[in-house]
Structure 1
């Protein structure tokens, strides 16, 4: 089995990477459709030749890295099983403690550390591209701090979830997926509540918006939309990036309206107000709660499908992997692979729903502000500062874009202007 794994990986993976390269750098059409040439959606009207060249390069390399590395974790998890590392991690955890509440987190830590180490070159490649093309301004030490912080936060959350899950699997052999889903509901709601007030501040400094006049205008927009906010927060992202962003997140008393300082520094006031109207639109149209509903439905389907697939996989290959049954923590890599594959299959649907929600928020924002020039200007500036590809290849759009392309968004704004001016 080891030889087949090595041989298959050395043949199939390089072929896959080659196909990805050919698609992105040779076959994909990156030109601007004739219907958009000369319009506000045409990057030639608001980007220099050099900026346009850099945006296409940066997007291609990032997309290549993203697609090329999709199978890497699957390969790692299969390798952990095939080479017996998973069984070794399990035995090490059991030597530390015979209690599963201790041995399972030890196993999760070992598997997480190995995966982090093997995928670190990919993370660094993303950082290199971002720095090379002038997007990231973050020092290496600061970036490593965020990497380690993310690792430990992820480990703590995953160790908790996996420990509870495997206790449920041992106790309820045929219904564990249902009880796990029920337990997931309060956990997801809790995470939505604590994310803005506990986790996000670990990475960046949040403080009240210094421009009180602008804050008053944003809060006026929020009041018109019945958004229960009494302050606007600013976050010092300029220490890390030249990109721009703003968002409304949290639920209940943890609700926050947040602006990156890069957005404040690079956009005009009316452009900032359009961006905030867009984010408020998400809140007004209950996109946060629809996302929660979608996550719960998706997790229900995913856990049930995972249960069925795991039963089949362990019956067929359990002995070869030295995994006793589904409740054996040594089989965790199989669970990771199955859930990852299910997530991959669901991604185009999730992104299509997200793009529709973003388009709705754009329409809400322009109807609220009625300032087409500011709206178009904000999107053009976002494109330039983020070196965004306004017209990505179809596969990239459907597998990576949670927003409509900038070409589509700007075209919608121009169409709104035409509709408004028509009798």
Structure 2
């Protein structure tokens, strides 16, 4: 085991050096010479200082992502021995297996949360320093506490289901667990806009009645069953611009960040909202759910075999008693974290396809390429987003097409 840890540590060290040099020193944001001076060139709508800040912030965020994801995998592996001690502690506290499970989950989540708190706090301070975040320390800690509680409750429910299914069908638990996860995914998707989102922000009806009427008219043309448009007070957290339409069926909710209302013109807002409505009309929410369900089917099958392999090979060395041992749960977390990291390019490629489809829909509805170009120029400026990203970053972090590519698409409709 010592040899394994040394090998993994050395590999991570080499990987970290490569990523630091590439992300902090590489020429990552140059645009094609043919686009210099066009509406896709950031020098035409951003100052040199804003461009430098956007590129610097992107480098830092990307480095944090590429280092923290493998580091999380390594820490889970490193703390498998600690998990055995946490399980023993839980067993000393309670005889009931359900209570032991609650104690174990809470303590392990707390341990991982504390270990990665410095990364979260660092990114919080970076966003403040670059002027993207307006979040106070009180809001940061409040959101962190809510995240912990929701994560704890969700994890306890999933672990309880997993252990019951594993006990009932040890050789087929992965498929039964997958079948049970489907209604849970649908339930969370349904309640998120009306229950979970308001836990973090205050929503109120859009005050601009003229804009509200225009958005609802656009929604009616798109056959979206919404009678209200909401604005959310994101300005207490960020200077960035965003909007969205989420929910299922009659539960659809059209939401604008108040920063968007302050920083975009009405015609620019309408193109953004048409894009968001495109997701709803083309049923991207349902397609995304179906894609996630299919991906989880493959992931759980791989996790099943990986789980058994790890336990058979190293379980006794870590002091793990078997597949239903609480101390074995971090192995599942390790496998899921690893698969999430390596599957990110496929997930982002899928996301970029539906995001482009929503852009196509927006132009179909408004035909206003000029307003869309101006909107995305504002988004790049206010969100401090480089108009293009290097391939590696786009594969692993790019859930949307490059702003440069989007502007060039909208240019076809610039009249």
TM-score interval (norm. to shorter)? over 0.9
In structure 2, how many angstroms separate the alpha carbons of the residues matched to 1:377 and 1:169? Answer: 54
In structure 1, how many angstroms separate the alpha carbons of the residues matched to 2:264 and 2:66? Answer: 32
2:119 matched to which residue of 1? Answer: 122
Deviating above 6 A after TM superposition, structure 1's stretches of 4 or more consecutive aligned residues are none
The answer to whether residue 85 in structure 2 is matched with residue 98 in structure 1 is: no
Query: Secondary structure of 1:191's partner?
Result: helix
Q: Is there any run of 5+ residues in structure 2 with no aligned partner, and where?
A: none
The answer to whether residue 252 in structure 2 is matched with residue 272 in structure 1 is: no
The answer to whether residue 340 in structure 2 is matched with residue 372 in structure 1 is: no
Q: Give yes or no for contact 2:50–2:381 (8 Å, CA) kept in 1.
A: yes
Q: How many residues align?
A: 415
Q: What displacement does 1:180 show?
A: 0.5
Decide which of 244, 247, 250 is 1:247's aligned counterpart: 244
2:43 matched to which residue of 1? Answer: 44
2:299 matched to which residue of 1? Answer: 302
The answer to whether residue 163 in structure 2 is matched with residue 166 in structure 1 is: yes
Decide which of 282, 286, 290 is 2:283's aligned counterpart: 286
The structure-2 alpha-carbon separation of the partners of 1:303 and 1:381, relative to structure 1 and needing over 3 Å to count, comes to: same
In structure 2, how many angstroms separate the alpha carbons of the residues matched to 1:269 and 1:415? Answer: 21
TM-score when normalising by structure 2 = 0.98
Return 367-376 or 20-29, whichever deviates more.
20-29
In structure 1, how many angstroms separate the alpha carbons of the residues matched to 2:209 and 2:180? Answer: 43
Considering only aligned residues, what root-mean-square deviation do their CA atoms show, in Å? Answer: 1.2
Q: Give yes or no for contact 1:87–1:330 (8 Å, CA) kept in 2.
A: yes
Q: What displacement does 1:10 show?
A: 4.2
2:72 matched to which residue of 1? Answer: 73
Q: Give yes or no for contact 2:367–2:413 (8 Å, CA) kept in 1.
A: no
Q: Is there any run of 5+ residues in structure 1 with no aligned partner, and where?
A: none
In structure 1, how many angstroms separate the alpha carbons of the residues matched to 2:219 and 2:412? Answer: 26
Q: What displacement does 1:253 show?
A: 3.6
Q: Give yes or no for contact 2:370–2:411 (8 Å, CA) kept in 1.
A: no
Decide which of 336, 340, 350 is 1:339's aligned counterpart: 336
Query: Secondary structure of 1:71's partner?
Result: helix
Q: What displacement does 1:141 show?
A: 1.2
In structure 1, how many angstroms separate the alpha carbons of the residues matched to 2:257 and 2:348? Answer: 24
In structure 2, how many angstroms separate the alpha carbons of the residues matched to 1:10 and 1:288? Answer: 40
Q: Deviations over 1:240-267 (max 9, x none)?
A: 1000110011113432100000000000
In structure 1, how many angstroms separate the alpha carbons of the residues matched to 2:3 and 2:378? Answer: 51
2:59 matched to which residue of 1? Answer: 60
